[in-house]
Amino acid sequence: MKLVRLALILLMLMPLGCASSPPTNPSSQATTDSTTRSAPIATRVVALTPITADIIHRMDSTKLVGIPGSQLLDQNTALQDLPRVSEGRTQPNLEKIVALEPDLVIGANGFHDQVLAKLQSLGVETLTTELNSWRSLEDLTRNLAATIQADPDPLLQSYQQCLPTQPALPETSTLVLVSRQPLLSPNEASWSGDLLTQYGVVNVVAELQGQSPIQGYVTLSPEKVLQINPNILILVNIEGENIDEFKSEPFWKDLKAVQNNKVYVLEYYGFVNAGSVEAITQACTQLQQIYGAK
């Protein structure tokens, strides 16, 4: 049972978005960066991740012809008529994608590898993305803008409004726990870890490296959590996980953050998985409230 739970957690933490590699096509390999590219302009795009679908739609909705099934996208009425090529964390339906006759399909590194490879074999151009930092979100936006010949500046400017102009207040030593079994915490190589860095927050595991099976996260023992004893504790609300179970851990009542009522809950989308532009904005708003950053 623990192995199944771990597998589900790792699947949830698999980065979906950002840090893009150039579009690839068996007959036309693109080698340029996000500012200059030789590949044709994409006019029919299928996005396999919510964040890329959201970005494309915000820059030029006419270019988006297919999206993943996602609760984040379902909340956007402007997207309700677009075909869904997948549901939740399941693999996309290859036949549905091909039927849309896309000239570009955007997927996530490590999660959509097989379907992207099959599409490439059919002559469909693909773009692989990966989440790891705020800068990669900006780079992805510029790359997608160049791909569909759109102006990225309005969206990039909206990103900047999420970030503080002043650093967080002192005494911000923070531990983020995204799961209880095992105790996983994001270091600086993750989306959430880098987001904390943008706010000037002291992430107590930022530079730690561990044996976690997913890059950007370290596995902690209860003894290590108590040794770290942060001023602020952030728990992540992940579907299927009960945050209240953390209170049963032997270290819980001895943590300074618990004793001083400095325990906060942030949503999975926006803080751990970029999810959508709106989800990112909401996560930033929460961080501003927690740390007094402006």
- The DSSP line for 9-21 is HHHHHS--S-SPP
Same domain, 107 and 188: no
Domain limit, last residue, from 101, 127, 160: 160
Work out the average pLDDT over 220-233.
Answer: 95
Q: Same domain for 140 and 21?
A: yes
Beta strand extents in the chain (DSSP E only): 45-47, 64-69, 84-87, 104-108, 126-129, 174-177, 183-186, 217-220, 232-237, 263-267
Tell which of 131, 160, 189 closes a domain: 160
Q: Tell me whether residue 2 is in a domain.
A: no
| Shared domain check, 88 and 203 | no
Residue 8 lies in a domain: no
Q: Is residue 92 part of a domain?
A: yes
How many domains in the chain?
Answer: 2
Residues 56 and 109 in one domain: yes
Q: Answer yes or no: do 138 and 183 share one domain.
A: no
142-153 per-position pLDDT tens digit: 999 999 999 999
The answer to which of 5-9, 109-113, 230-234, 243-247 has the lowest mean pLDDT is: 5-9
Rounded Cα distance, 10 and 214, in Å: 7
Supply the angle between the helices 134-148 and 153-160 in degrees, to the nearest 10.
Answer: 170
pLDDT of residue 7: 42
pTM of the model: 0.85
Contact 208, 216 (CB under 8 A): no
Mean pLDDT of 114-127: 95
State the pLDDT confidence band at 136, using cuts at 50, 70 and 90: very high
- Cβ–Cβ under 8 Å, residues 63 and 84: no
Is 148 a domain residue?
yes
Q: Is residue 166 in some structural domain?
A: no
Q: How many CA atoms lie within 13 A of 76 on its CB side?
A: 23
Residue 211 has pLDDT above 90, yes or no: no
Residues 20 and 116 in one domain: yes
Closest Cα partner for 220 from 176, 183, 247? 183
What CATH number is attached to the domain comprising 286? 3.40.50.1980
State whether 78 and 51 are in the same domain: yes
Mean predicted confidence (pLDDT) in 107-130: 94
Predicted confidence at residue 4, as pLDDT, reads: 38
Say whether both 78 and 127 belong to one domain.
yes
Find the domain containing 187 and state its range. 174-291
Q: What is the mean pLDDT of residues 252-273?
A: 96
- Mean predicted lDDT score pLDDT of the chain: 85
Tell me the average pLDDT across 26-50: 62
User: 267 — phi, psi (to 5°)?
Assistant: -75, 150
Residue with tokens 């909401």: 282
Mean predicted confidence (pLDDT) in 228-238 = 95
* pLDDT, greater one: 215 or 174: 174
